[in-house]
Amino acid sequence: LLAGAPLAMAKSTSISHAPWGALLETYVEPGADGVNRVDYAALKANQADRDALDTYIAQYADLDFDALTRDEQFAAWANLYNAVTVRYIVEEYPLSTIKPWYSRGPWKKIKVIADGEEISLDGIEHGVLRQQWADDPRLHYAINCASYGCPNLRVEPWQAETLNADLDEAARDYINHPRGVSVLKNGLRVSSIYDWFEADFGGSEEAVIAHLLSYAGPALAEKIRANPDIRDHDYDWSLNDTSK
């Protein structure tokens, strides 16, 4: 080693999601309407918990993702995405939406250090999750964009040990809620997620319908089969805030 040369940073080979879980339990409130909302104001006012959030996110800077199992990697990326999103909202709070009508959204500019490299939220979603898990559209139920129209931010962190069952549960929760699928007189109104990312759900309307039927409850499945025609897409960008 040359004199004065910097020492390589030793990488961590594991991460605990317990601190993130404690924050979720404290600030995520499941609604009677099936939508989980976040008490961003309370988190903004609690400096100790904001510090805990920063500390949790900072763990990712030297995390060796290659040392993790595939399910551990997915859980880590999804939890990081959600934690950084919550931190961004808290930093900007109060606000009514993460994506004003005149904006393409902040996802490319929100960045974090993970595995020694800088990456944006856009990079996590499109460069990591949608690339490395291209065969599993359930990834879209794992990340939360701080909006009413998005799949819920869970009250527990993603964990490798229960990942498959938890992703199935998240898919069922979303698809069986009106913001996922609503039945119209002449067909279906579905979340814009199934339009924006149709390729991830099989690349056709028929494939999207098949995906929805995989998770729809009996009553909804019967209605979908009766008129399997997507007539409209919709998405509500209002903030998933407990104050609303």
pLDDT tens across 38-94, in order? 999 999 999 999 999 999 999 999 999 999 999 999 999 999 999 999 999 999 999
How far is it, in rounded angstroms, from Cα 28 to Cα 85? 14
Q: Hey, what are 62's tokens?
A: 């030297």
pLDDT tens digits, residue range 101-124?
999 999 999 999 999 999 999 999
Q: What share of the chain is helix, strand, coil (3-state, %, to 5)?
A: 50, 15, 35
Pick the range with the lowest mean pLDDT from 8-22, 97-111, 145-159, 206-220.
8-22
- Tokens matching residue 193: 């997620």
Residue 2's pLDDT is: 44
Encoding tokens for residue 26? 């404290």
The CA distance from 143 to 86, in Å, is: 11
- Distance between CA atoms of residues 193 and 140, nearest Å: 8
In order of 192, 194, 234, the CA distances from 230 in angstroms are 11, 10, 11
- Whether 9 shows a pLDDT value over 70: the answer reads no
Token pair, residue 17, equals: 């999601």
Token couple for 148 = 């009413």
Task: Map tokens 């594991």 to a residue.
Answer: 14
pLDDT at 21: 98
Predicted TM-score of the model (pTM) = 0.95
